[in-house]
Amino acid sequence: MSFKLGVIGFGNIAKAIITPFLEQELIKSNEVICLVNSKKSFDNIKKFYKYDINVFLASSDDAKLIWDCPTKLLSIKPQHLENIEEINTKRSSNNIIVSILAGVSLKTLEKKFPNHKCVRAVTNIPITIKNGLTAISWGDRINNDEKIFVRNLFKNASKVFEFSEEYLDIFLALTSSSPAIIALIVDALSDGGLNGGLSKEISEELILDMILGTILMLKDSKITTTDLKNMVTSPGGTTISALRVLEEKSFKSALIEAIIAATNKSKEFN
């Protein structure tokens, strides 16, 4: 059996990347081999995953087959990286490892996997609903065909960007951390609705649809954020009253500082 793609850690994000790749028939299920750590995950994949991929426990003898795959997706949690040992099989000297581990630099990957060409990717949680954003940084010696394969891996579930590695920290802050900021804003605004006498459920529905509508206006029309603000802010009206409170509480500055903090934290991990 010749495996084409090895997945080290078949968790939420790996499934989000691999499933559309299988759906698009860009690879056959019997060409994919994946590793998990626990019997529970192993059983769940065997029982419930819709494709009949090869799955092995990381502790099993068969796990070393992964090192025969020309391309590997490394998708364990960063704190488990120390448990992974590269096996330099005959065929692996020219192979690729694509890591999606937050905060693990190309330099660290190249040190850990000296017999592999390394690629670092940062993606975000909406990839699980095929609406992700992925940034790829190429290590040395990756050729054009290999780039096409790696781009395709992410393309079915996310918009793909290519950046030099120095921009991955800010990319991560803006795209991977910010979904939590948006969730917080949705929660806070709908608490405002709750305070005004509406149920939390209705308030959240209103806020989510308002955000969707606003985003569609910003994305589809040619208006800028300033244009939109001016359209809904009339002299002496409700919106300027709300904006004044946010200004008083340094809301905009707090968001900028949040992005700086996430970027710096990501840099610390590298």
Identify which of 4, 3, 7 has the alpha carbon closest to the alpha carbon of residue 146.
Answer: 4
Instruction: Name the strand (E) or helix (H) holding 71.
Output: strand 71-74
**What's the CA gap between 108 and 36, in Å, rounded?**
22
Sheet holding 5-8, edge to edge: 54-57, 32-36, 5-8, 71-74, 95-99, 116-122, 132-138, 158-162
Segment lying near ligand NAP (by CB under 6 A), choices 118-126, 154-162, 184-192, 194-202: 118-126
Of the two residues 185 and 243, which places its CB atom closer to ligand NAP in the complex? 185
What CA–CA distance (Å, rounded) separates 222 from 140?
40
100 contributes a contact to ligand NAP by CB under 6 A = yes
Its sign, for the CA torsion 55, 56, 58, 61, is negative
Taking the chain, what is the end-to-end CA distance rounded to the nearest angstrom?
Answer: 37
Can you tell me which of 26, 125, 198, 218 binds ligand NAP, judged by CB under 6 A?
A: 125
Contact assessment for residue 243 and residue 226, using Cβ atoms and an 8 Å cutoff = no
The span of 8-16, 182-190, 195-203, 241-249 binding ligand NAP (CB under 6 A) equals 8-16
5, 13, 55, 119: residue in contact with ligand NAP (rule CB under 6 A): 13
* Out of 5, 18, 22, 101, the residue judged to bind ligand NAP by CB under 6 A: 101
Member of 19, 29, 41, 89 binding ligand NAP (CB under 6 A): 41
Q: Is residue 126 part of the contact set for ligand NAP (CB under 6 A)?
A: no
The contact mask relative to ligand NAP for 171-210 (x = CB under 6 A, - = no) is: -----x----------------------------------
Helices (H), the chain: 12-23, 39-48, 106-112, 144-155, 168-172, 178-195, 200-220, 225-232, 238-248, 251-269
Q: How far is the CB of 247 from ligand NAP (least distance, A)?
A: 32
Span near ligand NAP by CB under 6 A; candidates 12-20, 135-143, 183-191, 227-235: 12-20
**168 vs 263: CA distance, rounded Å:** 9
In whole angstroms, how close is the CB of 37 to ligand NAP at the nearest point?
4
238 binds ligand NAP (CB under 6 A): no
CB of 183 or CB of 232, closer to ligand NAP: 183
The reply on whether position 77 binds ligand NAP by CB under 6 A is yes
Query: Would you call 222 exposed, middle or buried from its count of C-beta atoms within 10 A (0-12, 13-18, 19+)?
Result: exposed
In the complex, minimum distance from the CB of residue 245 to ligand NAP, in angstroms, rounded to a whole number: 32
Computed from CA positions of residues 202, 203, 204, 205, in that sequence, does the dihedral angle turn out positive or negative? positive
Please tell me the count of residues contacting ligand NAP according to CB under 6 A: 27
In angstroms, give the least distance from the CB of 45 to ligand NAP: 8
For ligand NAP, the binding residues (CB under 6 A) are: 8-14, 35-38, 41, 58, 75-78, 80, 83-84, 100-102, 123-125, 176
